[in-house]
Amino acid sequence: MSYEYSKELYDSLIKLISNNIIEIKPIPTEIEESLPNIMEFDAVVFDIYGTLFISGSGDISIVMGKSKNHFFSEVFSFFNITVKNKKIDYSSIFYNIIEKHQNQRVADGIVNPEVNILEVWKDFILDLKNKKVIDIENITNELLTAIAVKYEILVNPVYPMPGAIEFINKLRMHNKLLGIISNAQFYTPLLFYLFWGKLPEELGFSHDLIIYSYQEKEAKPSKNLFLKVKKELQNQNISPSNVLYIGNDIKNDIYPASQIGFKTALFAGDKRSLRLRETEVSLSNIKPDYIIKNFRNIGGG
């Protein structure tokens, strides 16, 4: 399922979810900072959830978790979708469909599979309709898009990380190349437009350096996502050692970035999303080059 996301659509989606936006403050961590000097790097590449944006759930919401039946019910009610059987375990059906899509990716040889959440929602709505759980006529891309966004903002409320946009602007002022490698869905760029009024490219992120997992059908910690950015930067004569990657997860961010030669900074500004992975023996020797707790503390320039 392909779909173009225009500013007009983003405007309508922002109007749809505006009443659900609440301020979220980061929960401090005890880890000690070790800050980079941005002037030492030619490019800075970011994770999104838990790094540029506070994530109420600590991560993108399609990760398996506890029952979210009340959120599904709220979404159906909002869009006036008639529910005929209110005892259905929506969460179980939804996650089973996600797992089915992931297994299809594994069968295609992808070790760390990612789904397209719109494809999941389409199968989910059709399944409920066929089982006569809900009554719905036209299942359009526009409706699926709105439903997915409404559900996401309920399940995983987000808010900008303090100092994030100022740091982005500072990097841009110093002509640093900006990139993104994120486990993300189609609605992820909406966050930038929602809070900062511009899409990532308009904020200075290079189109060729933006990697979203749903488009690649592959998720972090796959090194393939990082290798695509590495190759593009090398085409611009930028060495991996002159690239700083910032993320909140030792396994998904620091490990793959360090393996391809990027310098790494662990973002430790919010306890909800900080993933130190201390119990995973295979990661015991993986250490970030820097630790950031607040973007406003970073020197250089």
- Where do the structural domains in the chain lie, given as residue ranges? 7-59+157-297, 69-155
| DSSP tag of 266 | E
What's the Cα-to-Cα distance from 31 to each of 56, 130, 271, 283, rounded to whole Å? 20, 51, 10, 18
The larger pLDDT score, comparing residue 97 to residue 18, is at 97
The C-alpha atoms of residue 129 and residue 265 are separated, in whole angstroms, by: 46
Predicted TM-score (pTM) of the model is 0.94
Lowest mean pLDDT among 101-110, 135-144, 207-216, 230-239: 135-144
For the domain made up of 7-59+157-297, give the CATH fold: Rossmann fold (3.40.50)
The C-alpha atoms of residue 85 and residue 140 are separated, in whole angstroms, by: 23
Both tokens assigned to 263? 């310098």
The larger pLDDT score, comparing residue 169 to residue 10, is at 169
The C-alpha atoms of residue 184 and residue 168 are separated, in whole angstroms, by: 19
The C-alpha atoms of residue 301 and residue 298 are separated, in whole angstroms, by: 10
Report, as an integer, the average pLDDT of 35-64.
Answer: 86
Report, as an integer, the average pLDDT of 33-58.
Answer: 94
The pLDDT-based confidence of 299 (bands split at 50, 70, 90) is: confident
